[in-house]
Structure 1
Amino acid sequence: MPHDSPDHDHPHALLPPAPALRVKALETILTQKGLVDPAALDTLIDTYENKIGPRNGAHVVAKAWREPEFLEALRTDADAALRELGYYGRQGEHMVVVENTPDTHNIVVCTLCSCYPWPLLGIPPGWYKSDAYRARVVREPRKVLSDFGVTLDDKTAVRVWDSTAEVRYLVLPMRPAGTDGLSEDALMDLVSRDSMVGTAIASVPT
């Protein structure tokens, strides 16, 4: 039956148009049929969004902070260096690592869709995929950073990197002062997902 038919009784017409609502409707149907456990699904999403993915990226950052040879390998060929750690695969190809310095702060966006290094950062957060973030960060990056609670020195330049299917970026945040004696695990705890996108800075140890 043609999609412009006045008869909208075919099944897909019953799903709401917005992608998030469609997903929620599908989840509700699967839950009602007993095919999905909502608690297990929430746990799975939380694991990939906040634990597995970002922890991988934090490992890369901490290792780069501690090992000059690894940092140079990232600069030379990030894909090869990351593969040595086991971080590769779909959505993790063609990686470029950009380093924050006192003179330059980097921030990543995907203006066309939501290209994102899943093997390193996990599931992209909702704000990263939002039209507001994708449109504003290229026009007013300092204001967007301010919204995230990041205030930079006026002398610090802001560079916006546009991820695509051909290249994805990982921000290497600056190492906080007072961390020289910390172990790799302790350094990893200072690195958040947002700091590797560029919308935050690494935490200061308490």
Structure 2
Amino acid sequence: MSKDKAGRREFIQNATLGAAAIVGGTQVSNEETLHAHPHEHQVVPDDIALRVRALESVLVDKQMIVPADLDEVVDAYENRIGPRNGAQVVARAWTDPEYKTRLLEDGAAAIAELGFAGAQGEHMVVIENTPDVHNFVVCTLCSCYPWPTLGLPPVWYKSSAYRSRAVIEPRAVLSEFGTELNDEVEVRVWDSTAETRYLILPERPAGTENMTEEELAAIVTRDSMIGVTKISAP
């Protein structure tokens, strides 16, 4: 299955699960739908997967959705709109020491100052990468992810391989993303849960001292805010 089709089906799947909750007589919030029983949604039952495929086929046949358009929406939230929010948070922290202090003390409140809040982002903890300590994020039991700041989680973040290996062999995982660390650098892995989601504040690259906040935001990547990569000066 292609990445685009997988993303599209997950997008429809989430809508299906939400609709099922309403039809069943109980209307719940996104947070409750996803985490009423922490992490039980990590394995999608076969019947739900089949329903998602059937729903997609029906919607396409009735010309209610265009697959390419839905793929564009998924791609936008996964790679452009969502991560750009987080990039603005990082750039502000790099250029405003007082904001950075607030961000590290109360991530959710500081992020909300920039207008980024909502389901999957109520309880945010921001962890700073430094020359001595490199942090990155995983959700070992599921795929908990800060949607308001990073958009939709990438496919690899939800994979069982990443979720298990990030804890067992973190340096090897980082190396596969092109992040090579000296032996003296400590590596810390943060496990997201239904209650708490993490955002990594990457190291500001050397040579960016004269860049504006907007220019800095443009070089911040989604993967650097998960912590699996570093940022290089343009």
Cα pair 1:137 1:160 within 8 Å, conserved: yes
What one-letter code is carried by the residue in structure 2 that aligns with 1:75?
A: L
RMSD of equivalent CA atoms: 1.6
- Aligned pairs (5 A) from 1:43-192: 43-192=72-221
Cα pair 1:109 1:128 within 8 Å, conserved: yes
Residues 1:147 and 1:91: Cα distance change in structure 2 (over 3 Å): same
Q: Taking structure 2 as the reference length, what is the TM-score of the superposition?
A: 0.77
Q: Which blocks of at least 5 consecutive residues in structure 2 are unaligned?
A: 1-44
Please state how far the C-alpha of 1:35 moved relative to its aligned partner. Answer: 1.5
Residues 1:153 and 1:19: Cα distance change in structure 2 (over 3 Å): farther
Cα pair 1:191 1:203 within 8 Å, conserved: no
In structure 1, distance between residues paired with 2:176 and 2:49: 24
Structure in which a larger fraction of residues adopt helix: 2
Deviations 1:24-80 (A, max 9, x none): 553233211212111211111111111110000000000000010000001221111
Cα pair 1:64 1:71 within 8 Å, conserved: yes
* 1:6 equivalent in structure 2: none
Cα pair 1:88 1:119 within 8 Å, conserved: yes
- Aligned pairs (5 A) from 1:187-198: 187-198=216-227
Question: Highest CA radius of gyration, 1 or 2?
Answer: 1
Q: Which blocks of at least 5 consecutive residues in structure 1 are unaligned?
A: 1-15
Q: Percent identity?
A: 62
Aligned residues: 190
In structure 1, distance between residues paired with 2:119 and 2:167: 26
